[in-house]
Each structure stands twice: as structure tokens, then as C-alpha cells.
A and B are shown apart, each in its own frame.
Chain A
Amino acid sequence: MNSLELALMGIKNLLRRKARTILTVLGVIIGTASIVVMVSLGLGMNKAFEQQLEEYGSLTMIEVYNNRGGYMVMSDSGESSSVPEGEVAFNDETISTFENIEHVEFALGMKRFDGTLYAGKLQSWAGIMAVDLEKFKKLDIDLSEGTMPSADGVNEVLMGFRVSEDFYDPNSRNPYSNQSSVDVMNTKLEVVPSSSYYDGKRPRGFVITPTGLTSEEDWDYAWDIFIDYDVFTKLKADFDRRNKNNDDDNGGRKRSRSNEDQDKYDQMKISVDDVKYVQEVQEQVKEMGYEAYSLTDALENMKQTSGLIQAVLGGIGAVSLFVAAIGITNTMVMSIYERTKEIGVMKVIGAELKDIKRLFLFEAAMIGFFGGVFGVVISYGISFLINSVLSGMSEGGGYYGVGFLSDIPYWLALLGIAFSTFIGLAAGYYPAVRATRLSALEAIRTE
């Protein structure tokens, strides 16, 4: 018997007992819908976490620190200047090592220098981040104004938006209590690449040209001034030469040449091509002996929590689908009682055992399938309702802004249908086997 004929026969059988079929399907609909909605809430929660994290920074970024960095800076003793065995370098070679890891798009080295920023009478502490501008541009930083700097212009820099807000007048009576903002984009700014406080006469620094200001939404780059690494090191070397009598010492000059090479950077960012590889890359980086952090660490934690919640919610759904499965089995067993004679006749006039078995399995699977399809459709409806209610709440409070919403990706819909069909098949197995075991003779005799 071919499958199409079997399917037609099965569908006819189901339609013959409409009321009961519909009621059984209804059970499956409720079961499927509850599982799908429950899982969708869990998924929505994950999605909300991700969105929230996205606001703190990019999820595909790994921050890398040299784990002996602190030790080097703190110690002034001679032994610190040589790199102890087993410790790792943090230079351009490191970058190419990172970039050779699978799924890494690029690695960016950064070094922070302390500096002071002067705008007319006002001044401010400033962190100066020396970076490779070519790669820095790829970071996808939101700007509220202007463009990204380049290495070609005259000391072009990108300003973190917070930098403009902490200026003070050192000559005022109470310099730190009334801080003022400066329109950094339109003011002449001079940088002294040293954090030492200069009483009276300050050394001459260099003028910088801000080309852009970071967006107030992006807190990752809010505090610093970003400048090209090579441009800055040259400026700093000039400055240090001009002020060599000064007792300003940031430690760098004491280091041996080789050590400076080892520690060209104090921080790196690794960009990974997809969130799902971030943990993997991060592990590899850690194995090389670096400290590595990424927002996916937090995400991982949150996912564990929401996984637990999902399991509980899914479990509730599973119970109702289990009840539905019992409903299917019950319906099919009833159907066998009703159709005993029919089954017997079919056997006598030439049905093979596998035909009978397949027929019953098909009918049960169809109940599962249609229950799944309508269940998923209804889930989308419920999901829509939940989302509109939650977003309605968020208009009032704002706290629920990200709130967890229900999210049904297409794979969940397909999985829901596949699962309920499978449940139908499993529930139909016992009745199907029973139908094949039925003695044809007994079956024909029943009236």
C-alpha cells in the first residue's frame, strides 16, 4: 500500500469522527502552545539580556590584559625590568598570534598614558589611549559629532564625551568644586603627556585636533582621548627630551629597550566574528597566559539562570503535552474498539500488518501534527499579547523597558510542530501494535 493512499485513508478516518478528532487535537494544541510559549519566554529573556549587554558594549569583543602588568608598574626594582621566564609578551607579535586564532577578525593593541589637558585657563586630567587608528576605526564606535581621526592629520584625536565635562580652573579658590564643561570640538586644546602637577610654569605640550566626539550612549570609550600610537609615541619622545631635567618619571624610561618591546601595549581588544565563538576564543587567550574578559561572561551567567527558568517553564508545558499524549493514545484505542470489525475485514481482504500499523501511526501523527501547527499559531498570538501587555507597562514605568518579552524564532515553531508530531507517533505506537495483533476472525465476529 503506498503512502499517499494510506494518508488519504487516514485523513478520511479522522474526518469521519470529527468531534473526537477535534477534541483530541485541542488537547495537543494546548500542550504545544504551552510548551512553545514557555520556551519563548525563556528565549525572550535571553534576548533581553543580550540587548541590555549590547548597551554596555559589544558582545563580540574580548578585552585582554597582560596579567603581570600591575606587578611591572608597581615595582621599581631592577629585577622587574627583565621579563621572568614563562611570562608572556604583549606586543605586535601577540597581536598577530591573536589574529591567527580562528574566528578572530582583528586584535587591537592599546596603551594608556596619563596626561593633562589644557583649554585656555582650564585644565583636566585625561587618559590618552594610544591605538592603531586603522583598526580602531573598525570598532564601530558611535559618534555624536564629527568623524573618526586618522594618523595623517595633525595630531588628530577622538574625544570621549566625558572628557569635556571635568575641566577646572586651577587658579580659582576652589578648583575641584566647580567643574565646568568645555566645547572640546571648538576649543584649542593642548595636551601635556604627563600627570605630574606643575606649579606655576607648566611645560609646553602639543596641540591636538579633535575630529569626533563619542556618543553619550557608548560608555566604553567615554573617558579617554584616542590617538594614533606612532604619532603619540613620537610626540611623547619629543616632550620627554625637552623636559629631561624634570623629575617627572612615569617608569617608561627606566625600562630596558627589550622590555619596552615586550610591553608595547597594556590592553588589547579582540574582535570575534560571531558571539557564539567569543567564549571559545577567550578560553584560548586565557590558556596563553593572559587575562581576558568579555560581556559574554555575564551573558553566560544570565543564560544559566534563564536556562533554569526555561527548564521550569518548559516542564510545565511538557506536563500538558504529556496529558495530550495520553489523550491521543486514548482516542486511538477507542478508535480500535470502534473499528475492530473494519480492521478484521481489511486484514482478510488483503491488508498487510504493516499497512494497519502505518495507518494507525499516521492517524496519531496527524493528530499530533495538526495540534502542533495550530498550537504554534496560537503561541504566536499569545506571544503577541504578552509583548503588547509588557510594552504597555513599560510606557508607564520605564523599568520594564527591556523587560522580558516572548520571542518565537522560526526554529522554535518548527521544533514545536516536529515535537508534537513525534508525541503523536509515540502515543499512537501502542494502539497501532494492538491493531495489528487483533485476530481477524475475532474482529469479523464482533457486531
Chain B
Amino acid sequence: MIGGHRNHPLWLAFALHRVSGLLLSLFLPAHFLVLGLAIDGAEDLDGFLVLTENPVVKLAEFGLVFLLAVHMFGGLRLLALEFLAWSPRQKTYAAASLAGGFFIACGFLLSAGA
């Protein structure tokens, strides 16, 4: 449940980091499965990669890039928090991680659409 003592930006940043991590770990087996297709020959893989032209799959890729970027920036924030001198601007950094993730995912969508 979100609310009560969890109702503050840095708890939400934690939740986003956890959820993005879990979703990425669900994606990994599928990722390896597709890469594995290449072992049996290029046709199988190419046959599958045609799918990525589908707009729905493009949108899913946008989501994936967003998850990756937001998880990476969130992780960098945590590393800085734990290993560098304390900075009181954690909320700003958490917001910047979110914005950075969104920015990169949008950039991907635009370049992939071009």
C-alpha cells in the first residue's frame, strides 16, 4: 500500500527502482532466448526481428529503454548517496533520474522511428 508513511518522493523513487529492476529481470530470459535464436542460424533471428517493426513492439521497446535508463540513473544516485559525502538534494537527484530516463527513452523512440 502506498500512503501514510510511504507518501513521500524518496519512497516512490525506491519503489520505481525496485519495480523497474523486477521488470528488467523478467525481460532478461526473453532477451537471451531471442539471442539464442542466432545460434541456430541467422534466418530464425531475422524472422523474429521483423516483429520489431510493429508499432506495438516499438512502444514496448520505449518502455524497456525507459526502465533500463531509470534503473541505471536511480542506481547511480544510490551509489553516490552511499559512497560520496552526503548531499541534501536527494529529491532533486531522484527527479533528475526520472527525467533522464524519460529523455533517453524518448530519444530512442524518435531515432528508431526515423
- Specify whether A and B are partners: no
Question: Which B residues contact A (CB, under 8 angstroms)?
Answer: none
